[in-house]
Amino acid sequence: MKAPLSRSPRILRVNSSNLPTVSVVVIAYNDAGLVGEAVSSALAQGPVVTEVIAVNDASSDGTARVLDELASVHPRLKVVHRAENSGGCGTPRNDGIAAASGRYVLFLDSDDILPPGAADALVRTAEEHRAPVTVGAAVRRELPQHHDVPWMPGLYTPGDVIERPADRPELVRDTLCVNKLYERAFLEEHGLRFPDGRFVYEDFAFTARVLAAAPRIAVTGDLVYVWHVRRSAAQVSISLDRKDVGNWRSRIEAHRTAARTLAEASPVLGSACHVKFLEYDLRMYLRELGSNPDYRAAWWTLTREYVDTFADADVEAAAAHARWIVRVLRATATPPADVERLTRLAAQPPRLLPPYAVGASGQPVWSEELPVELDGLSTLPVEELPVTVDAEPAGRGAVSIRVHDLYGRLAEAGPQTARLSFMPRAGGEPVLARPVELRPDRGGGWLAVLPFRLADLAVTGRRQGLRRMQAWNVGVGVQCADGSSVFTSLRPRGRLLRRRALPSSRYGVLLAQPYRTGAGALALRLAPGAEGAFYLVRNRLHRARAARGAG
């Protein structure tokens, strides 16, 4: 939307603090519709932000006009117009650093926002702990649903001070540059800049350079950055643009650069960077591998060549599911026939689909064709077992499930009950059905028929603020006799994915549309009443239109 040109009270609010000043660097390219909101959120931080430096990377739309009009009424806004497009995000950020005069520097992308008080919270924490780098909480906000997903939850402890990154090697998992405040003198002292030109995932390299400089890092628990995710946009962000293998190639190269930088500064950080790639980047892209054989083949070759450069110790340090994926990758030069099983193992939660093969000595292996040992399976806690649970329709208002055993590990724990769990995909509290006793299946595993009431689920969804169409992830929790439990998603089977229109005394009609997610798990769209039904149909048309556009 077009940025407002009036001086709003929100932007001019008074902050009486005498905190050191911050320069907010906003980069923009062909983002006239959104850059105004980003700039306004930076100006709204108050006088702690002494300047907002907007770098227009030679946009061809109305971005330059929007920024110039805003600058004409907001003296704190300085606009830098590049004559030629840089091809990436690094060069305009470097231009912003060069133009900055504040004691601290904060980065903001043109399609994101700074929440109120972000700069103030970061500066106060930085000053209290004399920290060259200060980090705060960030969320990925899915639009238009406004579903907030915390970025790297549990990685930081509010109020913590990390004297050296090598003392906390897991910090390499946070590759964002925008959720941190940087002392400008620190950046200058170490010559810290982003890669110039067309370098995708430039924040990987920059963050690695920052950690390699071994700064003290202070942590605030305040929300300091809102990362907008617009999956249906005509032009998605770089991190979401995975239509060809070039994106994955760029990510590998960025990671290679980051790992090299970190390893030169600290072998511990270099190792942690490799482990992070196996547990996070590799699994994220694998579970979205798709069915295009050419893409799969190219992806497999790229990935295999890269992980072959990893030290065995780094692979051994990764979680069991990640280790198994690497071993399958290394065992075959081309994607195996059961590559879908690998994508499900990369899902969250991970699932190892049957059949379950054993090697010559009786040890669990990937398959008869690829007898890669699934090492560590015998010692995994029950809650970490990649259990598979199948679901089929069992009449109206119930599903029949089969819980697969996993090389006897689940049997050791003694599964007793199972119950359905409906988790709002937009975030919120899960809705739990009543537990049902499991019965052994003569063919192996356990069976149960789990009831549910869609009308009650729709009412609960409304109470949680889910209007019109409701979207739910459907999972199942299995409770065992030894006190342990495991939770996983459901694998839809049979005719479970049929759409249904159900009469409802409360809503008149209730549309239910079970579907399979990209990770092969069961999810449910629920549309109560005529308004919900209309929204469901419209949403389906939008998805179809977006799919045609992507094609």
What's the pLDDT tens digit per position in 177-229? 999 999 999 999 999 999 999 999 999 999 999 999 999 999 999 999 999 99
Q: Which residues make beta-bridge pairs with 524? A: 472, 514
In the block, which residue shows the tokens 């980069």?
27
Determine the longest span between alpha carbons in the chain, in angstroms: 77
Looking at per-residue pLDDT, the higher value among 459 and 74 belongs to 74
Q: Taking residues 475-495, what's their average pLDDT?
A: 97
Q: DSSP characters for 472-499?
A: EEEEEEEEETTS-EEEEEEEE-TTTT--
3-state secondary structure of 452: coil
pLDDT above 70 (res 389): yes
**DSSP 8-state secondary structure symbol assigned to residue 408:** T
Instruction: Look at residue 546 in the predicted model and tell me its pLDDT.
Output: 54
Instruction: Look at residue 549 in the predicted model and tell me its pLDDT.
Output: 52
Q: Report CA-CA distances (Å) from 157 to 150, 152, 162, 210, 237.
A: 14, 11, 10, 20, 29
Instruction: Look at residue 291 in the predicted model and tell me its pLDDT.
Output: 86
Torsion (CA) 429, 487, 402, 279 in degrees, nearest 10: 120
pLDDT above 70 (res 314): yes
Name the least confident of 30-44, 282-296, 308-322, 529-543. Answer: 529-543
Written as six digits, the tokens of 70 are 């805003």
Q: Report CA-CA distances (Å) from 430 to 127, 167, 427, 464.
A: 40, 37, 9, 10
Phi, psi of 247 (to 5 degrees): -65, -45
Looking at per-residue pLDDT, the higher value among 338 and 535 belongs to 338
Q: How confident is the model at residue 502 (pLDDT cuts 50, 70, 90)?
A: confident
Torsion (CA) 195, 200, 206, 211 in degrees, nearest 10: -140
Looking at per-residue pLDDT, the higher value among 537 and 334 belongs to 334
3-state secondary structure of 252: helix
Average pLDDT, the chain: 91
Written as six digits, the tokens of 69 are 């009009």
Q: Which residues make beta-bridge pairs with 223? A: 137
pLDDT above 50 (res 4): no
What are the helix (H) ranges across 404-505? 409-413, 454-463
Q: How confident is the model at residue 530 (pLDDT cuts 50, 70, 90)?
A: low
**DSSP 8-state secondary structure symbol assigned to residue 378:** G
Return d(Cα 377, Cα 386) in angstroms, integer. Answer: 9
Sign of the alpha-carbon torsion through 195, 198, 202, 208: negative
How many C-alpha atoms does 409 have within 13 Å on its Cβ side?
23
Written as six digits, the tokens of 117 are 């008080």
pLDDT single digits (tens) 244-292 = 899 999 999 999 999 999 999 999 999 999 999 999 999 999 998 988 9
Looking at per-residue pLDDT, the higher value among 73 and 499 belongs to 73
Instruction: Look at residue 12 in the predicted model and tell me its pLDDT.
Output: 34
pLDDT above 80 (res 347): yes
Domains and CATH numbers, the chain: 22-233 (3.90.550.10), 246-379 (no CATH), 389-550 (no CATH)
Looking at per-residue pLDDT, the higher value among 125 and 8 belongs to 125
Amino acid at 321: H
Q: Which residues make beta-bridge pairs with 140? A: 149, 227
Of 77, 79, 93, nearest to 45 (Cα)?
A: 77
Task: Put residue 185 in one of left, alpha, beta given phi > 0 → left and psi -120 to 50 → alpha.
Answer: alpha
Instruction: Look at residue 2 in the predicted model and tell me its pLDDT.
Output: 34
Q: Are 262 and 165 in contact (CB under 8 A)?
A: no
Written as six digits, the tokens of 432 are 């739990």
pLDDT above 80 (res 3): no
Instruction: Look at residue 382 in the predicted model and tell me its pLDDT.
Output: 98
Looking at per-residue pLDDT, the higher value among 111 and 495 belongs to 111
Instruction: Look at residue 7 in the predicted model and tell me its pLDDT.
Output: 32
Q: Taking residues 55-61, what's their average pLDDT?
A: 97
Spatial neighbors of 480 by CB under 8 A, at least 6 apart, are 382, 410, 413, 414, 415, 416, 486
Return d(Cα 191, Cα 168) in angstroms, integer. Answer: 23
Q: Taking residues 387-396, what's their average pLDDT?
A: 94
Instruction: Look at residue 510 in the predicted model and tell me its pLDDT.
Output: 86
Q: Residue 55 belongs to what H/E stretch?
A: strand 49-56
Percent of residues, the chain, with pLDDT higher than 90: 78
Name the least confident of 123-127, 304-308, 422-426. Answer: 422-426
What are the helix (H) ranges across 239-369? 246-265, 267-276, 282-286, 293-307, 312-317, 320-331, 339-345
pLDDT above 80 (res 135): yes
Instruction: Look at residue 15 in the predicted model and tell me its pLDDT.
Output: 39
Written as six digits, the tokens of 442 are 């003569």
Q: How confident is the model at residue 438 (pLDDT cuts 50, 70, 90)?
A: very high
